[in-house]
Amino acid sequence: MKKIFYLMLAVTAFAFVGCNDDEEPVQVLEIVKSDVGFTADGGNGMITVNTTEGDFKATTDKSWITIEGTGWDKADPYNKTVSYAVAPYDGALTRSGKITIVAGALTEEVTIMQVGSSFDMSVEPVAVDPAGQQVVEVPFDASSSAAPTVEIPADASWLRATAVEGAIQLIADLNYETPRSTTITVKQSWKPVEIPVTQGVVNLVTIEHIETAKGAAYEVTITPTEYLPLAAPTWDVTTTYDWITIEKTAESFTVKLAENTTGKNRTGSISLTDGGEKVLRTITVSQGFLTPALFMGDWAMPCRGYNDAGQAADIVADISFGYDEESGSYYCVLGGFMIPVSYVETDTTAYITLESQPLGMVYNVYYIFLTLNSDNGYIIHQALPGYGIKFVFVNTTTLEVQPFNNPGWPEGGQTNGITFGAYSSSTPSSSTSAGNWDMFRNLTTLTRK
């Protein structure tokens, strides 16, 4: 038994001596795989190496690359790994760094690349909801998942902003005062974007200006809009002008203006409040002094007509306006005819209209019609009820002549004159025309005589 043991020992010793020659073992260090490209957000990476060396370490030349550890590759026990982290990057240009791996006397380098941040957003002006109810989204495109920051000037406390995925959300307070604007700055990494933001106003009431040219007593009912309860659940209206009276209900208020007998325009105001001292809106009131009496009397009418010799010439014709108490109607006297006119009042002005109409017969031969002519001389040979000219009040000494319901002339031009046409038939036409009884063209103004 001892012989066998010694024999085995001898064989083992011989084998050992046989392997101990002068050849050095081969050293290996090679990169098997690695993560080398990163976005601006950064992230974690891994490098897998194959090495025969037990002395194994990794370093980096950039502070934004952090070596987190080295170890064995769990999937392949013959390989080793280097785990590392790349920090987020807010620069514009691509950057690079190196990880150096040392195993014994061997060295390998891996270059890590990280692209820069990009940010794209429209700089077109943005209008936010004046009622403060709707959110406006402004989209953006960014290479980084980090939320942009939004800077709002201190004097724009009425505006708020929130960064969400892919968009900036803007919402503002209710605005019922005056239009306002500001400029916000959106920053994502290195790139700031300036965006103008505007906001209009909402009307708190259906009428914010009361204007009437009439001197007569006047009243108008004003209704709150849907926005008034948002501004003030409890509201009131007041005035300090004795010629303005306000009657308020839960749903509306009526403004009554007393007759203006001052002989001149007057202005006042109404305060819409929150029920206390805060004025939400000032409603301006303007009242004129127009009455029919301002139109009555004799006026000089410069025009193009016929002189005493029957020749076309620039003349000044006489025209008078009056009121017939018996019939309760207005009239004018022009060219020897007494012609019915109408006194018209609107909320903003007043005027007298002289419309196309039949005027009767002369000498029991000719039918006379007041017809129209334009500034190019065109005459319509027919009576057109509702069409004519109007005399608009400018001041106590001046009336302005304007077209009234211009029917549209075949040859162009505007109605600015009247013609007394003589016709051989009760139906005026070019074939029954016997000429002009009288004509007044190029009317512009009347001057009180």
pLDDT tens sequence across 24-70: 677 888 999 998 899 888 999 999 999 888 788 999 999 999 999 98
Catalogue all structural domains in the chain, each as residue range(s) with its CATH number: 29-114 (2.60.40.10), 119-199 (2.60.40.10), 209-290 (2.60.40.10), 293-448 (no CATH)
Q: Are 414 and 375 in contact (CB under 8 A)?
A: yes
CA angle 389, 392, 393 (to 5 degrees): 160
Closest CA to 422 of 374, 388, 379, 390: 379
Q: Are 330 and 342 in contact (CB under 8 A)?
A: yes
Residue 350: its pLDDT value, please?
85
Buried b (16+ CB within 10 A) or exposed e, 151-169: ebeeebebbbbebeeebbe
pLDDT tens figures, 146-189: 889 999 999 999 999 999 989 999 999 999 999 999 999 998 87
The residues facing 449 across adjacent strands are none
Half-sphere exposure of 123 (CA within 13 A, CB side): 9
Residue 349: its pLDDT value, please?
79
Residue 199: its pLDDT value, please?
97
Residue 125: its pLDDT value, please?
96
Residue that is written with structure tokens 């690359």 in the block: 65
Q: What is the pLDDT along the chain (449 residues), one digit of tens a residue?
A: 333 333 333 333 334 444 455 566 778 889 999 988 998 889 999 999 998 887 889 999 999 999 999 887 777 777 889 999 999 888 878 899 999 999 888 999 999 999 888 888 999 999 999 999 999 999 998 888 888 999 999 999 999 999 998 999 999 999 999 999 999 999 887 778 999 999 999 999 999 999 988 888 999 999 999 999 999 999 999 999 999 999 999 899 999 999 998 888 899 999 999 999 999 999 999 998 888 999 999 999 999 888 888 888 999 999 999 999 999 999 999 988 999 999 998 867 789 999 888 899 988 899 998 887 766 666 776 656 677 889 998 888 999 998 887 655 555 566 788 889 899 998 888 888 888 888 898 899 999 99
Contacts of 313 (CB under 8 A, 6+ apart): 304, 305, 306, 307
Contacts of 115 (CB under 8 A, 6+ apart): 37, 38, 39, 40, 89, 94, 143
Integer angstrom CA distances of residue 3 from 6, 9, 10: 5, 10, 11
Tokens of 425: 């038939």
Tokens of 117: 């941040």
Q: Are 224 and 273 in contact (CB under 8 A)?
A: no
